[in-house]
Amino acid sequence: MAEVRMPEVDRAAAGRAAIAARRARAAVKDAVHRRERRAIDVAETAWSDPATPEGTLRVRELLMSIPGMGPTRVARVMDELGIADAKRVGGLGARQRERLRAWLQAREGARTRSRLVVLAGPTAVGKGTVSAYIRENYPEVLLSVSATTRPPRPGEVDGRHYYFVDDETFDRMIEQGEFLEYATVHNASRYGTPRPPIEAALKTGRSVLLEIDLQGARAVKKAMPEALLVFLLPPTWEELVRRLTGRGTESPAEQARRLETAKVELAAQDEFDVKIVNHDVGRAAQEVVELLTVPGTPSARTRS
Ligand code: 5GP
Q: Tell how far the Cα of 191 is from the centroid of ligand 1, in angstroms.
A: 6
240: helix, strand or coil: helix
pTM score:
0.64
Phi and psi, residue 152, nearest 5°: -65, 145
- Choose among 135, 52, 141, 137: nearest CA to 89: 52
Q: Tell how far the Cα of 272 is from the centroid of ligand 1, in angstroms.
A: 18
Ligand 1 atom with minimal separation from the 144 CA: 19
Contact 51, 44 (CB under 8 A): no
**Burial 125-151, CB ≥16 within 10 A → b, else e:** bbbeebbbbbbeebeebbbbbbbbbee
Contact 180, 195 (CB under 8 A): yes
194: helix, strand or coil: strand
Phi and psi, residue 147, nearest 5°: -95, 145
Contact 245, 87 (CB under 8 A): no
pLDDT in tens, the chain (304 residues): 556 677 777 888 888 888 999 999 999 999 999 888 899 999 999 999 999 999 999 999 999 999 888 899 999 999 999 999 999 999 999 999 999 999 998 887 655 455 899 999 998 899 999 999 999 998 889 999 999 999 999 999 999 999 999 999 999 999 999 999 999 987 789 999 999 999 998 888 788 999 999 999 999 998 888 899 999 999 999 999 888 887 666 788 888 888 888 999 999 999 998 999 999 999 999 999 888 875 443 333 444 4
The Cα 80–Cα 76 span in angstroms is 6
The Cα 2–Cα 248 span in angstroms is 73
- Per-residue confidence (pLDDT) for residue 300, from 0 to 100: 37
Contact 93, 108 (CB under 8 A): no
Instruction: Report the residue among 146, 182, 209 best suited for mutation to probe ligand 1: largest number of ligand atoms under 8 A from its CB.
Output: 146
Q: Tell how far the Cα of 210 is from the centroid of ligand 1, in angstroms.
A: 10
Q: Please count the CA atoms within 13 angstroms of the CA of 218 that sit on its side-chain side.
A: 8
The Cα 78–Cα 87 span in angstroms is 10
Ligand 1 atom with minimal separation from the 211 CA: 12
Contact 62, 37 (CB under 8 A): no
The Cα 26–Cα 60 span in angstroms is 13
- Per-residue confidence (pLDDT) for residue 297, from 0 to 100: 37
State the alpha helices, DSSP H only, in 149-251: 167-175, 195-203, 214-223, 237-245
Instruction: Report the residue among 191, 214, 221, 231 best suited for mutation to probe ligand 1: largest number of ligand atoms under 8 A from its CB.
Output: 191
